Structure 1
Amino acid sequence: MVEQTNDRETNLLAEIDQLRLEIVRLQQLNNDLEIALFTTAEHGDMIEAQLHAANQKLQAEIVEKVQTQTALKQAEEKYRSIFENAIEGIYQVTLQGNYLNANPALAELYGYDSPAALIAQLTDIGRQLYVEPHRRDELMAYLKRFNAVSDFESQVYRKDGSMIWISENVRAIRDAEDTLLHYEGSVQDITARKITEEELRRQRRLAEQLLLNVLPQPIAERLKREQKTIADSFSAATVLFADIASFTELSSHISPIELVELLNHIFSAFDKLVDHYGLEKIKTIGDAYMVVGGLPEPKADHVEAIADLALALLQEVTHFQTAAGQPITLRLGIHTGPVVAGVIGTRKFSYDLWGDTVNIASRMESQGEAGHIQVTTAVYNRLQKRYELEERGIIEVKGKGLMRTYWLLGRKSA
Structure 2
Amino acid sequence: MPWNTTGAAPRWSPISAAAPGPCSAPCSIPAGSPGTAGSGARAQTCCSTSCARDRALDESERLLLNVLPAPVASRLKQSDQVIADGFPAATVLFADIVGFTGIAERLPPADVVVLLDRVFAGWDRLAVRHGVEKIKTIGDAYMVAGGVPSPRADHAEAIADMALEMGAEGTRCAAESGQALEVRIGIDIGPVVAGVIGRTKFIYDLWGDTVNTASRMESHGLPGAIQVTERAYERLGARYELRRRGRIEIKGKGPTDTYLLIGRKGKERGTDPRDAQVRTR
Q: Same fold (TM over 0.5)?
A: yes
In structure 1, the gaps of 5 or more residues are 1-86, 91-102, 110-185
| Distance of 1:104 and 1:351 partners within structure 2 | 55
- Tell me how far apart the structure 1 counterparts of residues 243 and 208 of structure 2 sit (CA, whole Å): 27
Cα–Cα, structure 1 residues 260 and 198, in superposed 2: closer, same or farther, change >3 Å? same
Q: Tell me if the contact between 2:90 and 2:189 (Cα under 8 Å) persists in the aligned partners.
A: yes
Q: Partners in 1 of 2:106 and 2:66 — Cα distance?
A: 31
Percent identity over the alignment is 53
Structure 1 match to 2:174:
321
The 8 Å contact of residues 262 and 322 in structure 1, kept in 2 or not, is answered as no
Indicate conservation of the 8 Å contact 1:314/1:371, yes or no.
yes
- What displacement does 1:187 show? 7.7
Code of the residue aligned with 1:387 in structure 2: it is Y
In the TM superposition, what are the counterparts of 1:119-268 in structure 2 within 5 Å? Answer: 190-268=43-121
Counterpart CA distance in 2 for 1:105 and 1:221 is: 42
Q: 2:215 aligns with which of 354, 358, 362?
A: 362
Secondary structure at the aligned position of 1:229 is classed as coil
Q: Which amino acid aligns with 1:240?
A: L
The one-letter amino acid paired with 1:262 is L
- 1:290 matched residue in structure 2: 143
2:195 pairs, out of 342, 347, 350, with: 342
Gap change, CA 1:337 and 1:239, over 3 Å in 2: same
Gap runs ≥5 in structure 2: 1-29, 268-281
Q: 2: CA distance between counterparts of 1:248 and 1:193?
A: 54
| Secondary structure of the structure 1 residue equivalent to 2:106 | coil
1:303 to 126, 137, 156: 156
Q: Does 1:353 align with 2:187?
A: no
- C-alpha separation in 1, matches of 2:104 and 2:40: 65
Q: How many residues align?
A: 238
Structure with the largest fraction of helix: 1
TM score, norm. by length of structure 1? 0.54
| Equivalent residues of 1:339, 1:354 under 8 A apart | yes
Bigger relative contact order (CA 8 A; separation at least 6): 2
TM-score, scaled relative to structure 2: 0.79
SS at match of 2:180: coil
* CA-based RMSD: 2.3
Matches of 2:132 and 2:252 in 1, distance apart? 28
Equivalent residues of 2:93, 2:144 under 8 A apart: yes
Is residue 275 of structure 1 aligned with residue 218 of structure 2?
Answer: no
Cα separation, 1, equivalents of 2:88 and 2:61: 29
Deviation at 1:195, TM superposition (A): 2.5
